[in-house]
């Protein structure tokens, strides 16, 4: 299974890091950081099946 990464814009990462440096709590888990930044893994198979379903609706 192949996956591609969606990266958040640099300004969002900078804002996140600025907030984190002011926070006295320990850092969140990597999964939580990815969730907060919208930095997720895109499942290529799921993406392809959605694309195929959309094409079937459009082109019949």
Range of the domain at 45: 3-59
Residues 6+ apart with CB under 8 A from 37: 8, 12, 13, 16
Residues 6+ apart with CB under 8 A from 38: 6, 8, 12
* Stated pTM of the model: 0.41
- Separation CA 36–CA 23 (nearest Å): 15
pLDDT of residue 42: 57
pLDDT of residue 14: 92
Q: What is the pLDDT of residues 6-60, one digit of tens each?
A: 788 899 889 988 988 888 888 889 889 888 888 776 555 555 666 666 656 656 5
Structural domain total, the chain: 1
Rounded to an integer, what is the distance from CA 57 to the centroid of its chain? 27
pLDDT at residue 2 is higher than 50: no
């Amino acid at each position: 299974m192949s996956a591609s990464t969606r990266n958040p814009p640099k300004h969002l990462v900078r804002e996140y890091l600025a907030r984190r440096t002011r926070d006295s709590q320990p850092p969140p888990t990597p999964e939580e950081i990815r969730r907060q930044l919208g930095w997720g893994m895109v499942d290529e198979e799921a993406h392809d099946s959605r694309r195929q379903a959309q094409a079937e609706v459009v082109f019949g």
